[in-house]
Amino acid sequence: MPGELIELEGEVQDLVAAVVRLSGYQFALIGGLAVMIRLGEQHRVTGDLDGVFDNPTDTPTTATLVAAGVAQDAAAIQRVVVEGTNVDIIDTFALPDDTSALPDEPKDRLFVCAHRYAFEVATPVRLAAAGRRTEVRVAPPAALVATKAHALRYASTGRRATKRSSDLYDLYRLCAVHMPTIAGDLAPAPWALRQQVAKALGDDLADLEQALAVLRAAPGIAAINPDDFADVLAELLGRLSSDAPEA
């Protein structure tokens, strides 16, 4: 069954050329464009792509894409340039059902589980922009929240300085629009992902006033009602934690 048709407008139209170029590979969109697609409206400015790729080999997808002439090297180790667009690439692979075989460190465990989940549950969406059309798999809201939970809780110093505001905004908007779906989809997710996300976000958002201050200080992000922000994120944490068995 063909996916929903999404008409892209504005600067993000240029990203479709990169999606078309990558169409022969097994991947799913995450990140800013995926959030915009799942919200179904203009959200915030984003000029790059983020993708989770199925790669059970020892050869990084970045190297494969460069060798095939699909992409050019970029400065960051997990990034390539495709049709003039920076593409951040995260390789994933099938994970065992036995959680004891997963990484011990919460940071590493949430990373591999959230991104593999995003790949596995992604659904097809048709994109149209500037005369181009293509189909791409896009992570659903629950998976996007899981990846954002990792980005927020375990961000590097550099990412925290440059992307914390957009990560918080993405999380808030996704939850404001898709709350019941997010909680419902994460409830049966494998690898105790629901509990992992609840712990990461609970720790990161312990001070909601500080999180709101980050958003208020960020340029290019629409004003947010403080009560709405607090209510939405408190509801998310409550839904994720309610009656959740131990991880």
Residue 231 included in any domain: yes
Q: Give residue 193's Cα distance to chain centre.
A: 15
- Structurally, how many domains does the chain consist of? 1
Binning pLDDT at 50, 70 and 90, where does residue 112 land? very high
Question: What average pLDDT does the chain have?
Answer: 91
Say how far apart CA 121 and CA 129 lie, in whole Å: 25
Residue 185 included in any domain: yes
pLDDT in tens, 158-203: 888 888 999 999 999 999 999 999 999 999 999 999 999 999 999 9
pLDDT of res. 47: 83
Reply yes or no on whether the pLDDT at 247 is more than 50. no
pLDDT of res. 114: 98
Q: Which range marks the domain in which residue 105 is found?
A: 4-241
Reply yes or no on whether the pLDDT at 245 is more than 50. no
Q: What is the average pLDDT across 95-121?
A: 96
Main-chain phi, psi angles of 37, to 5 degrees? -60, -45
Reply yes or no on whether the pLDDT at 244 is more than 70. no
pLDDT in tens, 139-168: 999 999 999 999 999 988 888 888 899 999
Determine contact, residues 23/134, Cβ cutoff 8 Å: yes
pLDDT of res. 179: 95
pLDDT of res. 46: 79
Residue 214 included in any domain: yes
Say how far apart CA 165 and CA 173 lie, in whole Å: 12
Place of tokens 């909601």: 208
- Residue 34 tokens read as 């995926």
pLDDT in tens, 66-77: 999 999 999 888
Residue 202 included in any domain: yes
Report the candidate in 213, 208, 185 with the shortest Cα–Cα distance to residue 197: 185
For the chain, how many residues are written?
Answer: 247
pLDDT of res. 45: 67
Residue 205 included in any domain: yes
Residue 35 included in any domain: yes
Residue 104 included in any domain: yes
Say how far apart CA 245 and CA 154 lie, in whole Å: 23
| Contact partners, residue 19, CB within 8 Å, separation at least 6 | 29, 49, 127, 134, 136
Report the percent of the chain where pLDDT is more than 90.
74
Q: CA dist 3 to 121, 122, 138, 206, Å?
A: 14, 11, 10, 38
Q: What is the average pLDDT across 117-128?
A: 96
Residue 89 included in any domain: yes
124: three-class secondary structure by DSSP: strand
Say how far apart CA 166 and CA 49 lie, in whole Å: 14
Reply yes or no on whether the pLDDT at 83 is more than 80. yes
